């Protein structure tokens, strides 16, 4: 079975079209179509359902996809094992980082990486953690620095993890700032400035309110914690933010319940890491 044809097939699936797959692989659309057609001839069955407006997988394509990904991963591992030279750290390193990690953790790590290993070429994308997991499934990056969660796909391997303690906060002028020992009941009377409902942070906070049989009043959801901090600091509501972000513009509420999340670096299980990725993980473990 032709690995180029498998690569084209996986790209079409991940990108959702032949034209997008061609752009990603730096080929013409006709070349992608020919490679997928060759694969279908080899298998004796169609793998892409072209009958609908949006491309989909046939039954054969659905069964083939996990095998195709494993074959391409093993090809990656074989190339890496053969080409890697002891002590040599160079080449391309593709990363994804959540906006929070990208602002508050990653700069020091990349500064060290760039200083000690100048021959590493970096490709960096910023996005929310949930989107990062989707991109990692498509092999769009080698590592993703994200918020971890209990429902994480078993195909991911956590290489580094650390706790990120959080605190309930309000603006210094907010009415809750004058309450000596506010409870969740007190917070339920005011607007909450929180990330989107699909995030691990929102689920942790909403779980506390559900257990207490209280309703949240979420306002203007955004996954940018810096934006949430700004809106909280001007008195638009209360929030829960990492303690590392808290400054003089915010008051910490002595709410008895605690919230913490886990941050970490994830890769795909069974897919070997390049030298630059291994070095960056070592730097992250040292400096965090």
Domain boundaries, the chain: 3-83, 91-162+263-287, 163-261
Question: 0.85 exceeded by the pTM?
Answer: no
Supply the DSSP symbol for 215: -
Q: Is 100 in a helix, a strand, or coil?
A: helix
CB atoms within 10 A of CB 173: 11
Whether the predicted pLDDT of 268 surpasses 80:
yes
Cα radius of gyration rounded to whole Å, the chain:
23
**Tokens representing residue 12 in the block:** 């079409």
Using one digit for the tens of pLDDT, what is the confidence trace for 102-143?
999 999 999 999 999 999 999 999 998 888 999 998 898 999
Upper half-sphere CA count for residue 181 (Cβ side, 13 Å)? 2
- Cα(106)–Cα(124) distance, rounded to whole angstroms? 11
Whether the predicted pLDDT of 86 surpasses 90:
no
Domain 3-83: assigned CATH number: 1.10.10.10
Helix (H) or strand (E) holding 137: helix 129-137
In which band, very low, low, confident or very high, does the pLDDT at 287 lie, cut at 50, 70 and 90? confident
Report the share of the chain in percent with pLDDT over 90.
72
* Region at 154 (left for phi over 0; alpha for psi -120 to 50; beta for the rest): alpha
Classify domain 163-261 by CATH architecture.
Answer: 3-Layer(aba) Sandwich (3.40)
State which fold the 91-162+263-287 domain adopts.
D-Maltodextrin-Binding Protein; domain 2 (3.40.190)
- Cα(55)–Cα(13) distance, rounded to whole angstroms? 8
Q: Is 119 in a helix, a strand, or coil?
A: coil
Q: Pairing relation of β-strands 192-193 and 238-242?
A: parallel
Question: Cα separations (Å) of 138 from 10, 43, 105, 129, 248?
Answer: 8, 23, 25, 15, 42
Q: Which positions ≥6 away from 115 have C-beta within 8 Å?
A: none
Using one digit for the tens of pLDDT, what is the confidence trace for 143-202?
999 999 877 788 899 999 999 999 999 999 999 999 999 999 999 999 999 998 888 889
| Range 217-239 burial, b when 16+ CB lie within 10 A, else e | bbeeeebebeebbebbbeebbbb
What is the longest distance spanned by two Cα atoms in the chain?
A: 73
* Planar angle of CA 224, 266, 285, nearest 5 degrees: 90
Question: Which residue is listed with tokens 């993980």?
Answer: 281
Tell me, what's the pLDDT at 200? 85
Question: Cα separations (Å) of 84 from 2, 77, 87, 263, 268?
Answer: 25, 10, 9, 30, 19
Report the share of the chain in percent with pLDDT over 70.
99
Domains 3-83 and 163-261 share a fold: no
Question: Cα separations (Å) of 288 from 101, 151, 226, 285?
Answer: 11, 25, 20, 6
Helix (H) or strand (E) holding 188: none
Question: Which residue is listed with tokens 């195709």?
Answer: 68
Helix (H) or strand (E) holding 138: none
């Amino acid at each position: 079975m032709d690995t180029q044809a498998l690569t084209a097939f996986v790209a079409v699936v991940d990108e959702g079209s032949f034209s997008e797959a061609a752009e990603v692989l730096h080929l013409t659309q006709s070349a992608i179509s020919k490679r997928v057609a060759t694969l279908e001839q080899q298998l004796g069955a169609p793998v892409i359902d072209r009958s609908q407006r949006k491309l989909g997988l046939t039954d054969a394509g659905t069964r083939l996809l996990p095998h195709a990904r494993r074959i391409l991963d093993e090809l990656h591992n074989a190339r890496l094992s053969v080409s890697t030279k002891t002590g040599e750290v160079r080449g391309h390193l593709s990363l994804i980082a959540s906006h929070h990690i990208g602002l508050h953790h990653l700069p020091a790590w990349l500064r060290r990486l760039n200083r000690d290993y100048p021959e590493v070429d970096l490709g960096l994308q910023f996005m929310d953690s949930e989107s990062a997991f989707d991109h990692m499934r498509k092999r769009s990056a080698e590592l993703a620095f994200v918020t971890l969660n209990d429902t994480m796909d078993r195909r991911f391997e956590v290489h580094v993890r650390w706790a990120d303690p959080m605190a309930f906060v309000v603006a210094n002028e907010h009415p809750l700032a004058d309450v000596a020992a506010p409870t969740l009941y007190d917070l339920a009377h005011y607007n909450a400035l929180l990330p989107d409902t699909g995030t691990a942070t929102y689920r942790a906070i909403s779980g506390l309110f559900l257990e207490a049989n209280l309703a949240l009043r979420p306002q203007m959801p955004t996954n940018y914690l810096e934006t949430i901090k700004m809106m909280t600091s001007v008195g638009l509501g209360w929030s829960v933010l990492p303690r590392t972000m808290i400054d003089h513009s915010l008051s910490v509420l002595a709410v008895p319940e605690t919230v913490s999340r886990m941050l970490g670096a994830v890769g795909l299980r069974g897919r070997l890491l390049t030298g630059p990725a291994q070095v960056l993980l070592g730097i992250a473990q040292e400096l965090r």
